[in-house]
Structure 1
Amino acid sequence: MPDSDIPLPFAARTQRERVEPRLPLELEQTIFVLTAYVDPLSVPILMLVAWRVKDWVERLQYRVILFSGGLAGLDGERMYPHEDDDSFSRLLSLSPSLLRDSVRHLCLCQLPHHDVEALVTACPNVEDLWGGPERLDAIGALPLKRLHASLVPLFFPKPIEFQHPLFSRLTHLEIFDRQVSVELASWSGLAVLPHLTHLAFNDEDFLYIFPDILRLCPSLKVLALVLAYHGHPPRVSEELARDPRFVWMMCAQFIQDWHMGALSGADYWTRAEDFVARRRAGLLEYALEKDESGQLDIP
């Protein structure tokens, strides 16, 4: 009789049933990985189930890394546990291959420049970066698809070079620069970005060149002015207000919004897309009122 046909003692059968997976391995892996994606906080617990589960989900624990520098309003959120300065050394002590293969979303806020650059160097496959170094050579080789940063310091004292490989894969770009030239000549290079579909500024002064940017960048799906404060919507030209791609967004919690987008895909970009879709469908329209100067107000 083959060994596999010999009836096992009850205790041995019970032990084997406890150890061996009951589901096909591929299905079991899918279940655990999806669970880790849906609820990143569960990853440390899932890793205790079995060695094979640890192998499947450990890298997902580091898919999104947020260094907040102690920003208020993040503690206690049911989101991926953000990192702080105390955990910096522990993070960098991880296997280089784990960071290289895992980290795709990285937010660096209020950290010393040398720490920022050390972490960026350890995570060469980041596709979504919020903040980061002020030196181009520190991030220039990253395969970025989304960038939220000030551009002028990266290229200073030279003008922004939009032909740089840094921009070659970008689909989403949020520009933090303030109190800089808002002349179209400084920003017309945005038109050469081959994959750019979503563009945002955080300074109302840039509204002056928004109509020109929309004309220069016909592939844009969203051009957003994203402000962190509540208040009366900005005054814009009639031409800009009539373009359905223009969106004024109020986002009081930039970091939290980025974090939720990295985890779930739902952020101010997706809300802007919904707004644009409703404008194009004729379901929503800016209400325009002229003041004495002939400018237009959006209530």
Structure 2
Amino acid sequence: MVSAQIEPLKYRTFILTGPSSTCRRFGVLQHAIKSKPAQFIRDNVWHLLVHSNFQEDTLDTFIPFCTGVRSLVLLGPHTRMFSQLETARPRRLATRIEFFGPKVDESMIPNLGLPMFSSLTHLDVFGHPLDTETGSSLALLPALTHLASLELSYDVAVAILGMCQKLQVLINMYPSHNTIWPTLSATVHDWEPRFLAMALTTEDYILDWEAGLRGGSDFWARADVFVAMRRRGEIEPESRYWIEERDGI
């Protein structure tokens, strides 16, 4: 009985970094898919992060079985993800912006009315910055409270925050810790405590995601704390929209 209760815990989280041929956890997932009922995979694989060095054909061997996933990070492209996971209901998703942008093939553009978007609270899109139209559409997802995008422009940030009052956090993400934060004209940060800028490398992103699953403070949690501090007037100068060491976050 104890073994039956403990075994599912081995399948809760998969961090798949390649190459796939040498990724031990990928082997564990593959074996489970082949040897266990589909419902077991659906009920017990909750958290999945896949590095960009996994090919799309490889992703096709396991993504369609992970429809019970609660948090999903795909660092590389997977054009069939939305059709394969249309019945899934993740709460957190990180994926490339190509799937949402105006220049992709129409067959690849996801229907934001799919069940998988109905429960999404945290969305991180990367690859290219959001444009105003796409950003505003994503911000209106019914349960979305947290949105991050690579190097947002001032105009896009203003449009998103103005259209979606239920959005609690909007993160302007940068891929390097050496970033010099831009000065925003008319300053979105002067009137919008929900806006902030952060930097995470790919390696830091994976470690950060794993820390959050273990109950630690991931970048979303740090953003929440910073926004709360700005609302209380505890950030100096009050126009600062990035976290510093002195904040103790």
Q: Which bin holds the TM-score, normalised by the shorter protein?
A: 0.7 to 0.9
Match for residue 209 of structure 1? 156
Match for residue 147 of structure 1? 93
- Give the direction of change, closer, same or farther, for the CA distance of 1:191–1:122 in structure 2 (3 Å limit): closer
Which of 78, 100, 110 does residue 133 from structure 1 map onto?
78
Give the residue type in structure 1 aligned to 2:72.
Answer: L
Match for residue 6 of structure 2? 57
Q: Is contact 1:228-1:254 (8 Å) kept? A: no
Which of 93, 97, 104 does residue 46 from structure 2 map onto?
104
Counterpart Cα distance in 1 of 2:225 and 2:242: 22
- Give the direction of change, closer, same or farther, for the CA distance of 1:56–1:227 in structure 2 (3 Å limit): same
Say whether residues 1:174 and 2:174 are aligned partners: no
Q: Which whole-Å deviations, capped at 9, do the CAs of 1:210-239 have from their partners, x for residues lacking one?
A: 011001110011101122312212332343
Give the residue type in structure 2 aligned to 1:164.
Answer: L
Counterpart Cα distance in 2 of 1:255 and 1:297: 21
> How far 1:164 moved relative to its partner?
3.4
> How far 1:265 moved relative to its partner?
5.3
Alignment of 1:1-299 (within 5 A): 52-69=1-18, 83-87=24-28, 89-96=30-37, 97-109=39-51, 110-131=53-74, 133-135=78-80, 136-153=82-99, 156-158=104-106, 161-178=111-128, 182-202=130-150, 204-231=151-178, 232-242=180-190, 243-252=192-201, 253-264=204-215, 266-286=217-237
Counterpart Cα distance in 1 of 2:132 and 2:141: 16
> How far 1:261 moved relative to its partner?
1.6
SS of alignment partner, residue 259 of structure 1: helix
Q: TM-score, normalised by structure 1?
A: 0.68
SS of alignment partner, residue 197 of structure 2: strand
- Identical pairs, percent: 29
Q: Is contact 1:151-1:160 (8 Å) kept? A: no
Counterpart Cα distance in 2 of 1:83 and 1:216: 45
Q: TM-score, normalised by structure 2?
A: 0.80
Q: Is contact 2:95-2:125 (8 Å) kept? A: yes
Counterpart Cα distance in 1 of 2:243 and 2:174: 15
For structure 2, the residue ranges without an aligned partner over 5 or more in a row are 245-249
Counterpart Cα distance in 2 of 1:98 and 1:140: 19
| Farther-moved stretch of structure 1 (84-93 vs 57-66) | 84-93
Give the residue type in structure 1 aligned to 2:117.
Answer: F
> How far 1:146 moved relative to its partner?
0.7
Give the residue type in structure 1 aligned to 2:141.
Answer: L
How many pairs were matched up? 229
Q: Which whole-Å deviations, capped at 9, do the CAs of 1:77-118 have from their partners, x for residues lacking one?
A: xxxxx8455545334334134322211111112212122122
| RMSD of aligned Cα (Å) | 2.9
For structure 1, the residue ranges without an aligned partner over 5 or more in a row are 1-51, 72-81, 290-295
